[in-house]
Structure 1
Amino acid sequence: MNFSVVVPLYNKAPYVAAAVRSALDQTLRPLEVIVIDDGSTDGGAEVVHAIGDPRVRLIRQPNRGVSFARNLGIGLARGDWVAFLDADDWYHPEMLSSLQQAAAAVPEAGMLGAGFRRVPPAFDGTYAPWSVADTFFEVEVVEDLRTRWMRSAPFCTSSVAIRTDLLCALQPAFETADSIGEDLDLWFRVADLTPVALVNAPCAAVRVLPDSLSTKQAPAALPAYLERMERRALAGEIPARHRRSAIRFVAQMQVTLAREALDVRNRRLALHWLWRARRIGGSRRWLLTALMALCMPAQVAGHWQRWRLRSAELFSPEGPSA
């Protein structure tokens, strides 16, 4: 088996060389590294061109968004598998080798994932490997990715690979109209079609950049990918074995939106989201959030954030976590 690594690039000149070199320096050499420059204005494409490795394919296009860039990379891929890597992240040298082991252990799997580690914002544009438990990795088989994700996010965009033929059959694989959750949307749609094999070791590093941190807000609308997931589940378009977990996943995200509304003292919006999530109204997390929304006086609303930090949270910025 061989891998095409797709790297979407937009104004990440200080970091993209490290990302590309981490893919080239794998113990299992990639067939190619496809960098889609999405209209960068900071010289990032020139940085990639200067690497000078024949395995690097640099494609330039006007700015059309990360989903369009990834879809273009998928269409150009010549490998059996497409692995994704963001331009400000990097691979451990054993990343592709670990995914190969997962594919050998679970040959029916059409999606492979590995764990990841977060890198704090104080860093330069270099990368260095870190310790992993072993060169032979424990592999977990996942039949229901949504249920697994509600325990913890087992992989991120920079630690996943999918069979190329499966991605091409789903093109446009990434929804180009979405600005939130376009990656989760694809992972779950793929996982409805195939088992997922997970390597339980941190084989990718995710850079936490100051300019990429989310702004605190209380969304009044459900992200489009969750609306589609709920609609498809209720219409019977998701396989029967996954419909219940799909509906539960959407409801848990609605509880998360209720908690975000409480963070900014918008009790009415919080109650709206709790009503939308009433399918899991008997769950501990829903009841705790409802209790705070109903009983929290306006003058002590600010205490919610401190209480929340002490309570068990389900979703992290990269996805649900325990």
Structure 2
Amino acid sequence: MVNDGSTDKSADVVKSFSDARIRLINQKNAGVSVARNRGINEAKSELIAFLDADDEWMPDYLETILRLREKYPYAGLYATSLKTEFIDNVLMDKDKELRKLIPDEGLILNFFKVNLKDISHKDIFYTSSVTVPKKIFLEIGGFQTGFWWGEDIDMWGRIALKYPFAYSSQVCAVYYQNVVNSAAYRRKPVKGHPLLNTGKEALKLGNVSPEIVKDFEEYLKFVEMCTAKHNVEAGDKNLALNLLIRKDIKLSYKKLLISTIVSTMIETNFPAFSQLLFGRTVSLR
């Protein structure tokens, strides 16, 4: 348990457990990436699993991960599907074309292609339904520090450039989005996404397999669009406006950005009208 400068009584709760398997590591607040890297370095197991404070594992999560590990020992990441407060399985709303790329239980050979098939960016797994061999972290490097936006996607992307993912469509975790201080709802502009620098460097050095180069390049543009959308909702339209005039950005991405700009303007300037249109004062997502 890494206590990253918490101000509640969670550290005292951990201290109350009398179990040699549980170790409490205290540090000054340095951000989620530093905390995760510290935990990875301190961990004694060959597998690293993540469980954020506001998420939950189902009783069969670790059993499912170990089954994947036994079947696919060469995979770089092991993950399962999950549910949220709003949907029983994040795979339910995927179209047939996308579902063909997602095994009931097996390998995902092109992580980038799978994500490109869903413009809503509803990931097929989240950090709390992911387990990674420690040796992979040591090879790839830790989470990029200095970011609170996209550091997990950057990590999965770096692993996906070198290894397939083992995946189970079984729901084995719960992702609670509607919680206080959740990064999913933090409205603060970001300078950029860590994967963009990582990806451009990998392409420059020729570290991307020819079979996935096209999908990876498009995925980077997709990430740019998602980052611009986030910034619009946080009050900064600059990145979105830059993408709108770029010829290499898909029309569907531009339409989503324009829709986000308009809905955010209505929410900000005409809250009563926003309430009338959407039933509640929130931007379209």
Q: TM-score range by the shorter chain?
A: 0.7 to 0.9
AA aligned to 1:273 is L
The alpha-carbon distance between structure 1 residues 45 and 140, as it changes in their structure 2 partners (threshold 3 A), is same
Query: What is the total number of aligned residue pairs between the two structures?
Result: 253
- Structure that is richer in strand per residue: 1
Aligned-residue Cα RMSD (Å) equals 3.6
AA aligned to 2:218 is R
The 3-state SS of whatever aligns with 1:211 is coil
Aligned partners of 2:66 and 2:125: how far apart in 1?
16
Aligned partners of 2:227 and 2:35: how far apart in 1?
29
Aligned partners of 1:227 and 1:258: how far apart in 2?
16
Alignment partner, residue 127 of structure 1: none
Alignment partner, residue 53 of structure 2: 87
Q: Is the 8 A contact 1:74 1:168 kept in 2?
A: no
Q: Is the 8 A contact 1:99 1:113 kept in 2?
A: yes
1:248 has 2:213 as partner: no
Structure 1 length as normaliser, TM-score? 0.66
Cα offsets for 1:114-146 (capped at 9, x unmatched): 1111237xxxxxxxxx99xxxxx9313111112
Cα offsets for 1:168-221 (capped at 9, x unmatched): 2233x11112221111111111122211101102211122213325244665x4
Aligned partners of 2:259 and 2:176: how far apart in 1?
34
Cα offsets for 1:56-103 (capped at 9, x unmatched): 121112222211111111112221211111122121110010111222
Alignment partner, residue 194 of structure 1: 163
From 252, 270, 274, the counterpart of 1:285: 252
Aligned partners of 1:69 and 1:49: how far apart in 2?
18
AA aligned to 1:153 is D
The alpha-carbon distance between structure 1 residues 43 and 117, as it changes in their structure 2 partners (threshold 3 A), is same
Unaligned runs of 5+ in 2: 90-102, 279-284
AA aligned to 1:243 is V
1:142 has 2:108 as partner: yes
Alignment partner, residue 51 of structure 1: 17
Alignment partner, residue 92 of structure 2: none
Unaligned runs of 5+ in 1: 1-34, 121-129, 132-136, 310-315, 317-322
Aligned partners of 1:103 and 1:157: how far apart in 2?
17
From 67, 73, 78, the counterpart of 2:39: 73
From 214, 217, 225, the counterpart of 2:185: 214
Structure 2 length as normaliser, TM-score? 0.74
AA aligned to 2:144 is E
Shift of 1:232: 2.6
Alignment partner, residue 196 of structure 2: 226
Q: Is the 8 A contact 2:76 2:136 kept in 1?
A: yes
The alpha-carbon distance between structure 1 residues 163 and 264, as it changes in their structure 2 partners (threshold 3 A), is closer
The 3-state SS of whatever aligns with 2:185 is coil
Aligned partners of 1:167 and 1:269: how far apart in 2?
31
Aligned partners of 1:68 and 1:263: how far apart in 2?
27
Alignment partner, residue 96 of structure 1: 62
